Structure 1
């Protein structure tokens, strides 16, 4: 059994067969006889795409603990407010990028856009994550009511900045992956799931270490500490690791950018080769792709709308019942819940690499709509009078992540793969990929907004 798994995993991390790529001219092949395998770098790029979002989620416990004593009402609404702000910023940015991608069509600068967007997004994210690390150190572990408002304004500005830069990175990576093929699109999704599970693992370990550290035993007047004491160093560690990883991604992207430009210039559909062709097709508009990919787009939007309506706004409010188990300790329960969800999501994103893709678009849509059942389930478990066992809650959280990763990855691969989706032409791959990401973020915005309604419904 282990040999089978290793062989399948090796197949995931090896480049697509030569038939999946447009042949390079002989001169190019001779000057670069051993081009680097493209799949693994796309895993790294996929990790960087969702890094800022995962760091933002991991900031919630620390900043809630930081302001809960001085501004409990602001602390209560922090996850939903920042999630909505993040997704709305991402949505507006991607709306602009989608329009620009459609307008550019097969213009002469098309071969440079994805890599330029990736570089811009990565360097901006490096600067913003570095600034966040400095800000966490400067603010410290306790703030007053006035300081809490300043912290929230700064955190909101940071959120807008990383989501804006992340939109450029996200669009560029998906355009680049669509250029290579379905396996590379799947690699991006795999990377997005991998960064989430890695961040959650570090968060859980850090929380366990912080909760087990010896506490000061001074006089009664000195025993009162800020709730942010336990989350300060783990949060700073996340941000610092994220910044280092972004530098690594910049290095990884450099060789991939050169290879992608070779493929673009050698492709029969390359703008440089077809600029003078009198029979070349007019650029396809985003609205046309939106219409033709209607079922897939509805599937993508509904998956993330349902997920964001309950996670994390409702799930972080589910208390542990009883104290048996180290994961129920104060400061560990919420990070452990993130770990369970992200573990399921990672597994769901991995399954399409080991199992045949689900090519039926109506079947994918049906699976996406069945997930509506998660809304009443988490409304029930988040109730103060709920008697749902912790194991059932965690199982539901894992299935939420599993279904999110599996259905979304299938749909995103189909959305911009002409070999699997006859509604898309090869020259429309890049535009289709950006439209799909735009729809994905639209689902995130809808889910974040819906979380406010669900919180109001429960009176939380």
Structure 2
């Protein structure tokens, strides 16, 4: 009965979060048709995004309660959202639609996606095949728990109970500070990953121009295809890759080195064919379109892969009772990385 009540609460929590996100996206889409100053619309949109990020943080905290592959799926979903936005931008360019129509299309896309997600989530427990696999999963967890009780001592039980899925009332939650002490390295890594990414994408990357200026059609879609679509596609591949291979391991010293090494992408992208660049000496180092696409592909893949590993590793470093706290903390530091990168991008934009 207690486990059933716990599952009901979590389902209501997810449904409420998705419903609130849908409402916020719908509000923003409706405001497109309301006459208002650009600064006012921008402020309202930023406030809406802030609330949406809060709700996503709540959902991500729940992902920490489950095995690492669920974190990978959640990160992959975020990458897929980027592809939707890039394709919407491409369709807007090709259709020559007006600004208001394009903006309306951009905001309606997440409304449809969120509504579909909410309906699928509500429908899933009522499907026979879903009940079959959910019940089988619970049976497997109980059998595993009995095997562990018969073959290990109580100290080893903690590892197996981490992803059993039942609330552990006997455990007390650790303080946020204690949880942070265990995951601080992963928190620093995810902050660094997104700070590096946002410092040059898109403020620098959108200024890169094609060398084939004689082709008006290609010049028109170059930024959308080579910057946004390439980035989001390879970012999605990177976010999905940890479901197949997870290297380096969370204990390896190579992991933070790999995260820090992404700083090299900042000068590499600044050396591409950036329009009106002040660094004219380095402008032609990676002038060709192929060089820019290659750098962007490696840049975006490493972003998705390392970020997904960080989010998957953090809950593994704490007790099962503290996984939700770890997930929420990682979401906070992810957003912190975005904020730091966006702030640093103003400096790089002036430099280039």
**TM-score, normalised relative to structure 2:** 0.77
Contact 2:195/2:339, CA 8 A, preserved across alignment: yes
Q: Aligned pair in 2 of structure 1 residues 207, 247: CA closer, same or farther (>3 Å)? A: same
Question: What secondary structure, in the 3-state scheme, does the structure 2 residue paired with 1:307 have?
Answer: helix
Q: Aligned pair in 2 of structure 1 residues 398, 273: CA closer, same or farther (>3 Å)? A: closer
1:161 paired residue number: 48
2:341 paired residue number: 447
2:322 paired residue number: 428
Question: What secondary structure, in the 3-state scheme, does the structure 1 residue paired with 2:229 have?
Answer: helix
2:101 paired residue number: 233
Superposition pairs of residues 256-295 of structure 1, within 5 angstroms? 275=169, 280-295=170-185
Contact 2:76/2:240, CA 8 A, preserved across alignment: yes
Distance 1:403 1:412 in 2: 14
1:278-318 superposed Cα distances (whole Å, 9 cap, x missing partner)? xx443211211211112212211110010011111221222
What's the CA shift for 1:248? 1.4
Q: Aligned pair in 2 of structure 1 residues 294, 274: CA closer, same or farther (>3 Å)? A: closer
2:22 paired residue number: 126
Superposition pairs of residues 98-113 of structure 1, within 5 angstroms? none
Q: Aligned pair in 2 of structure 1 residues 325, 295: CA closer, same or farther (>3 Å)? A: farther
Q: Aligned pair in 2 of structure 1 residues 242, 271: CA closer, same or farther (>3 Å)? A: closer
Distance 1:452 1:111 in 2: 45
1:149-201 superposed Cα distances (whole Å, 9 cap, x missing partner)? x1222222122123213312x22322332223112111111111122123312
Contact 1:114/1:171, CA 8 A, preserved across alignment: no
Please say if 1:456 is aligned against 2:350. Answer: yes
Distance 1:349 1:407 in 2: 8
Structure 1 residue ranges, 4+ long, deviating more than 6 angstroms after superposition: 109-113, 256-260, 266-273
Q: Aligned pair in 2 of structure 1 residues 244, 396: CA closer, same or farther (>3 Å)? A: same
Q: Aligned pair in 2 of structure 1 residues 309, 365: CA closer, same or farther (>3 Å)? A: same
Superposition pairs of residues 34-433 of structure 1, within 5 angstroms? 115-139=11-35, 150-168=37-55, 170-210=56-96, 230-254=98-122, 275=169, 280-323=170-213, 328-330=218-220, 332-336=221-225, 337-361=227-251, 362-381=253-272, 382=274, 384=276, 385=280, 386-387=283-284, 388-417=287-316, 423-433=317-327
Paired positions, count: 313
Q: Aligned pair in 2 of structure 1 residues 194, 327: CA closer, same or farther (>3 Å)? A: farther
Distance 2:211 2:103 in 1: 26
1:338-377 superposed Cα distances (whole Å, 9 cap, x missing partner)? 1111011011112112334531442221111011011112
Q: Let me know the Cα RMSD of the aligned residues.
A: 3.3
What's the CA shift for 1:432? 1.0
Contact 1:344/1:402, CA 8 A, preserved across alignment: yes
Q: Aligned pair in 2 of structure 1 residues 413, 356: CA closer, same or farther (>3 Å)? A: same
Contact 1:349/1:405, CA 8 A, preserved across alignment: yes
> Please, which runs of 5 or more residues in structure 2 have no aligned partner?
146-160
Contact 1:300/1:443, CA 8 A, preserved across alignment: yes
> Please, which runs of 5 or more residues in structure 1 have no aligned partner?
1-23, 29-108, 140-146, 211-228, 418-422
Q: Aligned pair in 2 of structure 1 residues 160, 397: CA closer, same or farther (>3 Å)? A: same
What's the CA shift for 1:404? 0.2
**Larger relative contact order (Cα-Cα within 8 Å, sequence gap ≥ 6):** 2
What's the CA shift for 1:334? 2.8
Distance 1:290 1:299 in 2: 13
